[in-house]
Structure 1
Amino acid sequence: MTTKVGRLMAFTAKPGRGGDLAAAMLQVAEGLREVPGCELYIISQDSGDPDTVRVVEAWADEASADAALAAAANFAGDVSIESVLGMLAKPPERVDLTTLGGVGL
Protein backbone atom coordinates (compact mmCIF):
# COMPACT_ATOMS: atom_id res chain seq x y z
CA MET A 1 0.00 0.00 0.00
CA THR A 2 1.29 3.43 -0.94
CA THR A 3 0.84 6.03 1.76
CA LYS A 4 -0.59 9.24 0.42
CA VAL A 5 -0.16 12.71 1.87
CA GLY A 6 -3.16 14.61 3.15
CA ARG A 7 -3.62 18.11 4.45
CA LEU A 8 -6.39 20.02 6.13
CA MET A 9 -6.00 23.76 5.66
CA ALA A 10 -7.97 26.60 7.23
CA PHE A 11 -7.72 30.11 5.82
CA THR A 12 -9.29 32.99 7.75
CA ALA A 13 -10.01 35.99 5.55
CA LYS A 14 -10.08 39.57 6.70
CA PRO A 15 -13.65 40.50 7.71
CA GLY A 16 -15.98 40.42 4.72
CA ARG A 17 -13.38 38.92 2.35
CA GLY A 18 -14.40 35.25 2.68
CA GLY A 19 -16.17 35.24 -0.69
CA ASP A 20 -13.12 36.73 -2.42
CA LEU A 21 -10.86 34.19 -0.75
CA ALA A 22 -13.14 31.28 -1.68
CA ALA A 23 -13.23 32.47 -5.31
CA ALA A 24 -9.44 32.70 -5.40
CA MET A 25 -9.03 29.23 -3.91
CA LEU A 26 -11.51 27.78 -6.42
CA GLN A 27 -9.36 29.27 -9.18
CA VAL A 28 -6.30 27.58 -7.66
CA ALA A 29 -8.24 24.29 -7.53
CA GLU A 30 -9.08 24.57 -11.24
CA GLY A 31 -5.40 24.92 -12.02
CA LEU A 32 -4.61 21.79 -10.02
CA ARG A 33 -6.88 19.54 -12.11
CA GLU A 34 -4.01 18.51 -14.41
CA VAL A 35 -1.19 18.62 -11.88
CA PRO A 36 0.43 15.20 -11.43
CA GLY A 37 -0.05 13.77 -7.96
CA CYS A 38 -3.03 15.94 -6.98
CA GLU A 39 -5.74 13.46 -6.06
CA LEU A 40 -8.13 15.65 -4.11
CA TYR A 41 -8.40 19.41 -3.57
CA ILE A 42 -11.75 20.45 -2.10
CA ILE A 43 -12.60 24.05 -1.25
CA SER A 44 -15.31 24.71 1.36
CA GLN A 45 -16.58 27.82 3.07
CA ASP A 46 -17.38 27.41 6.76
CA SER A 47 -21.18 27.61 7.10
CA GLY A 48 -20.85 29.21 10.55
CA ASP A 49 -18.16 31.70 9.54
CA PRO A 50 -18.11 32.70 5.85
CA ASP A 51 -14.71 34.35 6.30
CA THR A 52 -13.17 30.91 6.93
CA VAL A 53 -12.28 28.81 3.90
CA ARG A 54 -11.16 25.22 4.38
CA VAL A 55 -9.21 23.06 1.94
CA VAL A 56 -8.99 19.28 2.05
CA GLU A 57 -6.04 17.95 0.04
CA ALA A 58 -4.75 14.50 -0.93
CA TRP A 59 -1.52 14.02 -2.82
CA ALA A 60 0.22 10.96 -4.23
CA ASP A 61 3.28 11.89 -2.16
CA GLU A 62 5.05 14.78 -0.46
CA ALA A 63 7.09 15.57 -3.58
CA SER A 64 3.89 16.11 -5.60
CA ALA A 65 2.47 18.49 -2.99
CA ASP A 66 5.71 20.45 -2.78
CA ALA A 67 6.06 20.65 -6.58
CA ALA A 68 2.50 21.96 -6.96
CA LEU A 69 3.09 24.71 -4.41
CA ALA A 70 6.32 25.71 -6.14
CA ALA A 71 4.58 25.82 -9.53
CA ALA A 72 1.40 27.56 -8.32
CA ALA A 73 2.29 30.81 -10.09
CA ASN A 74 2.19 29.00 -13.44
CA PHE A 75 -1.31 27.53 -13.19
CA ALA A 76 -3.39 29.69 -10.87
CA GLY A 77 -4.35 32.34 -13.43
CA ASP A 78 -4.74 35.75 -11.83
CA VAL A 79 -4.29 34.33 -8.33
CA SER A 80 -0.89 34.51 -6.68
CA ILE A 81 0.24 33.25 -3.32
CA GLU A 82 0.83 36.88 -2.36
CA SER A 83 -2.74 37.88 -3.29
CA VAL A 84 -4.19 35.02 -1.21
CA LEU A 85 -1.96 35.89 1.75
CA GLY A 86 -3.04 39.54 1.41
CA MET A 87 -6.68 38.51 2.00
CA LEU A 88 -5.90 36.69 5.25
CA ALA A 89 -6.50 37.97 8.76
CA LYS A 90 -3.95 35.50 10.16
CA PRO A 91 -1.56 32.83 8.88
CA PRO A 92 -3.17 29.69 7.45
CA GLU A 93 -3.60 26.72 9.75
CA ARG A 94 -2.28 23.40 8.44
CA VAL A 95 -2.75 19.86 9.69
CA ASP A 96 -0.65 17.17 7.99
CA LEU A 97 -2.20 13.72 7.62
CA THR A 98 -1.18 10.27 6.52
CA THR A 99 -4.02 9.46 4.11
CA LEU A 100 -4.96 5.80 4.19
CA GLY A 101 -7.96 5.61 1.83
CA GLY A 102 -11.67 6.16 1.53
CA VAL A 103 -14.22 7.34 -1.00
CA GLY A 104 -12.76 9.63 -3.65
CA LEU A 105 -9.19 8.36 -3.52
Structure 2
Amino acid sequence: MENQYLLHGKLTAKPGQQKELADILIQASQLVSMAKGCQLYVVSHDREDEVSVYVTEIWDSKTDHDDSLKVEGVRELIMKAMPILAAPPAKGQELEILRALGI
Protein backbone atom coordinates (compact mmCIF):
# COMPACT_ATOMS: atom_id res chain seq x y z
CA MET A 1 0.00 0.00 0.00
CA GLU A 2 1.26 3.46 -0.88
CA ASN A 3 1.80 6.09 1.80
CA GLN A 4 -0.25 9.24 1.85
CA TYR A 5 0.95 11.75 -0.71
CA LEU A 6 1.49 15.46 0.04
CA LEU A 7 2.18 17.93 -2.74
CA HIS A 8 2.92 21.60 -2.10
CA GLY A 9 3.32 23.91 -5.06
CA LYS A 10 3.68 27.56 -5.95
CA LEU A 11 2.28 29.03 -9.13
CA THR A 12 3.22 32.52 -10.27
CA ALA A 13 0.71 34.64 -12.16
CA LYS A 14 1.48 37.49 -14.50
CA PRO A 15 1.21 40.85 -12.72
CA GLY A 16 -2.38 41.75 -11.92
CA GLN A 17 -3.68 38.21 -12.47
CA GLN A 18 -3.16 36.57 -9.08
CA LYS A 19 -6.87 36.70 -8.18
CA GLU A 20 -7.87 35.15 -11.52
CA LEU A 21 -5.34 32.35 -11.01
CA ALA A 22 -6.55 31.79 -7.44
CA ASP A 23 -10.16 31.65 -8.66
CA ILE A 24 -9.25 28.99 -11.24
CA LEU A 25 -7.45 26.93 -8.59
CA ILE A 26 -10.42 27.24 -6.23
CA GLN A 27 -12.66 25.94 -9.03
CA ALA A 28 -10.23 23.02 -9.45
CA SER A 29 -10.37 22.35 -5.71
CA GLN A 30 -14.15 22.06 -5.92
CA LEU A 31 -13.86 19.52 -8.75
CA VAL A 32 -11.25 17.30 -7.10
CA SER A 33 -12.44 17.58 -3.50
CA MET A 34 -14.80 14.66 -4.09
CA ALA A 35 -12.25 12.60 -6.04
CA LYS A 36 -11.15 9.27 -4.63
CA GLY A 37 -8.43 9.73 -2.05
CA CYS A 38 -8.56 13.52 -1.67
CA GLN A 39 -7.97 14.38 1.97
CA LEU A 40 -7.03 18.07 1.63
CA TYR A 41 -6.78 20.65 -1.14
CA VAL A 42 -5.89 24.14 0.06
CA VAL A 43 -5.44 27.22 -2.13
CA SER A 44 -3.59 30.06 -0.41
CA HIS A 45 -1.52 33.19 -0.95
CA ASP A 46 0.97 35.35 0.91
CA ARG A 47 -0.40 38.86 1.48
CA GLU A 48 3.08 40.25 0.82
CA ASP A 49 3.35 38.54 -2.60
CA GLU A 50 1.04 39.89 -5.29
CA VAL A 51 1.69 37.24 -7.94
CA SER A 52 2.01 33.81 -6.28
CA VAL A 53 -0.67 31.29 -5.39
CA TYR A 54 0.08 28.16 -3.37
CA VAL A 55 -1.64 24.79 -3.48
CA THR A 56 -1.24 22.15 -0.77
CA GLU A 57 -2.79 18.74 -1.38
CA ILE A 58 -2.95 15.54 0.66
CA TRP A 59 -4.07 12.33 -1.03
CA ASP A 60 -4.38 8.74 0.10
CA SER A 61 -1.76 7.91 -2.56
CA LYS A 62 0.18 9.42 -5.46
CA THR A 63 -1.98 7.31 -7.75
CA ASP A 64 -5.12 9.02 -6.43
CA HIS A 65 -3.50 12.41 -7.06
CA ASP A 66 -2.53 11.45 -10.60
CA ASP A 67 -6.04 10.13 -11.27
CA SER A 68 -7.54 13.45 -10.11
CA LEU A 69 -6.13 15.06 -13.24
CA LYS A 70 -8.66 12.96 -15.15
CA VAL A 71 -11.67 14.44 -13.29
CA GLU A 72 -14.05 16.08 -15.75
CA GLY A 73 -13.26 19.78 -16.09
CA VAL A 74 -9.79 19.72 -14.53
CA ARG A 75 -7.88 19.74 -17.84
CA GLU A 76 -10.03 22.65 -19.04
CA LEU A 77 -9.13 24.66 -15.93
CA ILE A 78 -5.44 23.87 -16.44
CA MET A 79 -5.69 25.18 -20.01
CA LYS A 80 -7.47 28.31 -18.73
CA ALA A 81 -4.69 28.97 -16.19
CA MET A 82 -1.71 28.47 -18.52
CA PRO A 83 -1.94 31.84 -20.35
CA ILE A 84 -1.97 33.84 -17.11
CA LEU A 85 1.08 32.12 -15.60
CA ALA A 86 4.31 34.13 -15.64
CA ALA A 87 6.27 30.89 -16.13
CA PRO A 88 5.48 27.20 -16.54
CA PRO A 89 4.60 25.67 -13.17
CA ALA A 90 7.60 24.27 -11.36
CA LYS A 91 7.41 20.76 -9.99
CA GLY A 92 5.81 20.94 -6.57
CA GLN A 93 7.45 19.70 -3.41
CA GLU A 94 6.54 16.10 -2.67
CA LEU A 95 6.74 15.93 1.10
CA GLU A 96 6.60 12.99 3.47
CA ILE A 97 3.86 13.27 6.07
CA LEU A 98 5.21 12.58 9.52
CA ARG A 99 1.97 13.28 11.35
CA ALA A 100 -1.38 14.74 10.38
CA LEU A 101 -4.25 15.41 12.71
CA GLY A 102 -7.85 15.35 11.62
CA ILE A 103 -7.25 13.63 8.30
TM-score when normalising by structure 2 = 0.88
RMSD in angstroms over aligned alpha carbons? Answer: 2.0
Q: Looking at secondary structure, tell me which structure has more strand per residue.
A: 1
Corresponding pairs, count: 102
Assess, with a 3 A threshold, how the Cα gap between structure 1 residues 31 and 56 changes in structure 2: closer, same or farther: same
2:101 aligned to which of 94, 100, 103: 103
Shift, 1:75, TM fit: 3.8
- Equivalent residue number for residue 3 of structure 1: 3
TM-score when normalising by structure 1 = 0.86
Aligned-partner SS, 2:96? strand
Q: Does 1:35 align with 2:35?
A: yes
What's the CA shift string for 1:33-62, capped at 9, x where partnerless? 210111110000221112100001111001
2:87 aligned to which of 87, 90, 95: 90
Equivalences for 1:4-83 in 2 at 5 Å?
4-69=4-69, 71-72=70-71, 74-76=72-74, 79-83=76-80
Q: Which residues of structure 2 form unaligned runs of 5+?
A: none
Q: Which residues of structure 1 form unaligned runs of 5+?
A: none
Q: Percent identity?
A: 30
